[in-house]
């Protein structure tokens, strides 16, 4: 039995392999960008929540002070469109009514579309990133 010689000149093989691999490679890269941006957004939102809660625990603070602190922190990261919720002892209230030792809870929520750099998101599209911080009023 004789073997046929192996063909070594296959110019189109690399093109076909490239056509199959490139879409998967780009999907992997865009997914990594999406996940990285989501993690960065969650970190930024957590720090904004912490900053707002700290502003709300100070004497003579108001909810507008909390919202201003949150918005200032988010704008430094290029994020807008946040929803800030303030609670005193688990109930929606103005921090100006809080007494010493009361729990101040600040929740910051941002749609992922406000954080994303890409025109669309396949993995986190339509999701809302949210973080809360609880501190005692001074």
The model's pLDDT over 54-96, given as tens digits with 9 standing for 90+, comes to: 999 999 999 999 999 999 999 998 898 899 999 999 999 999 9
What count of Cα atoms within 13 Å lies in the side-chain half-sphere of residue 115?
A: 26
Give a yes or no: residue 77 inside a domain. yes
Highest mean pLDDT among 9-23, 86-100, 110-124: 86-100
Give a yes or no: residue 86 inside a domain. yes
> What confidence score (pLDDT) does residue 113 get?
85
> What confidence score (pLDDT) does residue 34 get?
85
Range of the domain at 93: 13-136
Give a yes or no: residue 57 inside a domain. yes
For residue 121, pLDDT over 70 is answered with no
Asked whether 51 and 74 are in contact (CB, 8 A), the reply is no
> What confidence score (pLDDT) does residue 125 get?
73
Number of domains in the chain: 1
Phi, psi at 133, each rounded to 5°:
-135, 140
- Helices 63-76, 11-57: axis angle to 10 degrees equals 150
User: In angstroms, rounded to a whole number, what is the distance separating the alpha carbons of residues 7 and 58?
Assistant: 78
How many other C-beta atoms are found inside a 10 Å radius of the C-beta of residue 105? 19
Smallest CA-to-CA distance from 128 within 33, 42, 4, 60 is with 42
Give a yes or no: residue 4 inside a domain. no
Give a yes or no: residue 8 inside a domain. no
Is pTM beyond 0.85 here?
Answer: no
């Amino acid at each position: 039995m004789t073997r046929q010689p192996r063909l070594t000149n296959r110019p189109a093989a690399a093109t076909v392999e490239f056509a199959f691999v490139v879409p998967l490679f780009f999907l992997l890269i865009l997914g990594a960008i999406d996940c990285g941006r989501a993690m960065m957004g969650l970190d930024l939102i957590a720090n904004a929540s912490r900053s707002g809660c700290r502003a709300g625990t100070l004497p003579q603070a108001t909810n507008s002070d909390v919202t201003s602190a949150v918005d200032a922190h988010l704008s430094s990261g290029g994020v807008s469109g946040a929803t800030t919720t303030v609670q005193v002892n688990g109930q929606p209230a103005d921090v100006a009514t809080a007494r010493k030792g009361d729990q101040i809870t600040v929740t910051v929520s941002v749609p992922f579309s406000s954080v994303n750099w890409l025109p669309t998101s396949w993995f986190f599209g339509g999701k809302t990133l949210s973080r809360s911080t609880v501190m005692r009023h001074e």
